[in-house]
Every structure is written in structure tokens, then in C-alpha cells.
Amino acid sequence: MLTRRHLLIVHQLLASAGVPIEAIDVVGFHGQTVAHRPDRGWTWQLGDGDAMATALGVPVVADLRQADVAAGGQGAPLLPVYHRALLADGALPAAVLNLGGVANITFVGGDGAMVAFDTGPASSLVDDWMAAEMGQAYDADGALAASGDIHRDVLMQMLDNPWFDLAPPKSLDRADFTMAPARGLSAADGAATLTAFTAATIELALRHLPERPTRLIVAGGGRHNATMMAMLADACAMPVVPIETLGANGDATEAEGFAYMAVRSLAGLPISFPGTTGVPVPLTGGRLSRP
């Protein structure tokens, strides 16, 4: 539900950035995903585009995944089209890795063609572990994981999942993997093992790309976790650098991406593609709500 408090927060954020509401042409509103089951033909995001448009007095493009899923696509990941835009002036081929709750990777070839898919959990399992074991929201800078030992038997058990062998396109719900195999480990060892699991799943994902990138450009909150970044570099045997190396703001990449998709939606341009979600043809998406 879109509450008055949420709208106040939006206005406060705009004010702190020095952006008057009158300067905004369109809002790209993703909402909060509560369930994602493209195999069943649905994906659910909380949020009311009509209510936001009315309250803000600004056009809003919401429901960005629904058209893709209805057409037989995975509905995720959607950020690749924005990753490609960020890479437009850089050397190709290249790969962007987004470390949110779930990780996804975007490979952009020299011809601009994209391959993208979810790779597995990013920060979600470590966050869940920290909440359960330490009463904390996340492992700040990966400090707890850095103090622990990786339990290879648990790691191999978690990696023994046929999902990692599936060819893309593919996507995940946040609840598709759990921290249960790490139960019984010390807090530090569990954090280390779950962090190593994320790194290992991304190395497995690289095997599904048309060619191996020379580096991983990382966006999302996970790039702040120094231990995860170090484990990634070790598992993938390549440089792992934050997306700031492209001049981008890694904390805002996802928000910027949905704003970019909103503009593409207004122009009737595609936001998902056969190589990113498995949709049959490049497809636009989103539902426009006017104030």
C-alpha cells in the first residue's frame, strides 16, 4: 500500500537532491517483489502506480515485468538494457554483475547483443544469516565472514543443485535458496560459507556466457562487502571492480535503470529481449498511469 509516509519520504529525497517535483517528467516505479514465479505465468510486485501518479502529480510507469511474463519470458532480469547503455562508451565485450538480494549478470557482446540471467543468491542468504545469528541487518564490509572459515562440505552441498546447470535465460525468487545447510556452523563460519557460496555461483554462471569477460563490473549493495568482492576475484580469477569505474553511482544504478526503462516504455522501445529474459521478441513493457 502506498501510504502518506511513503510519499513524504519521496518528497524528502527529492528535496535533499535539490530536485523539484516539477522537474520530473516520469517516474519508473518497480515496487517490491513479493513473489516471482514466471514458470506459473505470474510475478507480484507491491505498489500502486495510479495512486503514486495522483499523489505526486507526475506520470508513472509501473508493472514493468508483467508484459514479459505474459509473453512467456522470465520477467527478469530487467536491468540489462540499462547496463548496456552504461557500457556504450566502453570496451566490449564486457559483463556487469548486479549484487542485490539475488545476483544477476549482463554480458554485452561487441555487437551490442545481450545475454543476461540470475546467477543465484547475492546478499540475501548472508543477510538472513546475520539477522538470525547476530541480530544485524547485514555483514558490514564482510567483517564477520572474513573472520570465519569456509566449510567446503556445506559449500559443495549447496552447489549440488541442478539449477546451476540450466542454460539461460533463467530467473530466481529470493526464497528459492535458503541458509538451512549452514545451520549448526558458528556465526563467523556460516557467514564465510554463505559468502563463498555467492562467489562460487557466479563463477558457475560465467560458464554460460558466450565468451569469458576480462573483468566483472559490479553494481548493487554487495559491492560494499569487501570479503565478497575478494572471494569473487579469487573464484572467478579476474579483476572485480565497482561500477563507479564507469562513472556510475553503484547505489543508484537500479533506480536509474527503472527510470531509464520508464522512458523507453513511453517511447515504445523494448526493455526485455530474447537474450535477457527469453521473451520471443524484443518487448516493451510497463503500464502508464497519469495524474
175-210 residue pLDDT tens: 899 999 999 999 999 999 999 999 999 999 999 999
Half-sphere exposure of 86 (CA within 13 A, CB side): 28
- Of 25, 42, 116, nearest to 79 (Cα)? 116
Q: Are the CB atoms for 170 and 163 separated by under 8 Å? A: yes
Share of the chain above pLDDT 70, in %: 95
Quickly state the pLDDT bin for 110 (edges 50, 70, 90): confident
For the segment(s) 80-246, the CATH number from 2.60.40.10, 3.40.50.300, 3.50.50.60, 3.30.420.40 is: 3.30.420.40
16: three-class secondary structure by DSSP: helix
Write phi, then psi, for 64 (nearest 5 degrees): -75, -15
Q: Could you tell me where the beta strands, DSSP code E, fall in 24-168? A: 27-28, 32-37, 42-46, 60-62, 94-99, 102-108, 114-121
Assign domain 4-73+252-289 one CATH number from 2.40.128.640, 3.40.50.880, 3.20.20.100, 3.30.420.40. Answer: 3.30.420.40
Instruction: Considering only residues 166 and 38, tell me which one the structure prediction assigns the higher pLDDT.
Output: 166
Residue 1 in this model has a pLDDT that exceeds 60: no
pLDDT over 90, % of the chain = 72
pLDDT band of 220, cuts 50, 70, 90:
very high
What is the overall mean pLDDT for the chain?
92
* Same topology between domain 4-73+252-289 and domain 80-246: yes
pLDDT computed for residue 88 by the predictor:
82
For the stretch 123-157, pLDDT in tens is 999 999 999 999 999 999 999 999 999 999 999 99
Q: Which of 189, 71, 78 is nearest to 129 (CA)?
A: 189
- What is the tens place of the pLDDT at every residue in 51-74? 989 988 999 999 999 999 999 999
- For residues 211 and 13, give the distance between their C-alpha atoms in angstroms, rounded to a whole number: 41
Looking at residue 29, its pLDDT comes to 92
Question: 2 falls in which pLDDT band (50, 70, 90)?
Answer: low
Determine the Cα–Cα distance for residues 126 and 109; give it in Å rounded to an integer.
Answer: 32
CA 9 to chain CA centroid, nearest Å: 23
Confidence class for position 34, pLDDT limits 50, 70, 90: confident
pLDDT of res. 124: 95
